[in-house]
Structures are given as C-alpha cells and as structure tokens.
Amino acid sequence: MNDAQLIQHLGGPAKVAELLGIDKNGGVQRVFNWITRGIPPRVKLERPDLFLPHLKPVDKRSKVAA
C-alpha cells in the first residue's frame, strides 16, 4: 500500500490530521499534500502504529546481543 492509499485507508486527510493531533487550520492541507509528496519519514517513525503497521513492536526490555 503506498502513502496515498494508506491515507485514504485511514479515513482521508482530515481524519489523519485529527489522528496526528495536527491543527485543522492548515493541517488537513499538509496531510493532503502527502498524497502526492509522500508521508515524511519522520512522521512515519513517530507514529509507526498508523503508518508502519507491518512492523512488529520491539520489546525494549529484552536484551539482544548485536
């Protein structure tokens, strides 16, 4: 699913702006722009539950040797 499809799947630009807590004045337009420009990586990393659902959460308590 590309970013435009993901935004539509989540309910459209207004709903995504609401989910992110972005002010409606300008926020909806910002999210709408992501349909063509792509969702900024920073936003995806801040909200992986919305934008990276295929990733499994990491248990920060487990100690894995690098």
CA 17 to chain CA centroid, nearest Å: 10
Instruction: Provide the strand spans (E) within the chain.
Output: none
Integer Cα distance of 42 and 46 in angstroms: 6
Integer Cα distance of 27 and 16 in angstroms: 9
Range of the domain at 42: 3-51
Q: Is residue 9 part of a domain?
A: yes
Q: Is residue 61 part of a domain?
A: no
Domain count, the chain: 1
The predicted pLDDT at position 19 comes to 95
16 contacts 8 by C-beta, under 8 angstroms:
no
Q: What tokens does 64 get?
A: 């894995």
The predicted pLDDT at position 25 comes to 87
Q: Is residue 22 part of a domain?
A: yes
Return per-residue pLDDT of the chain as tens, 66 residues: 899 999 999 999 999 999 999 998 899 999 999 999 999 999 999 999 999 977 776 666 765 554
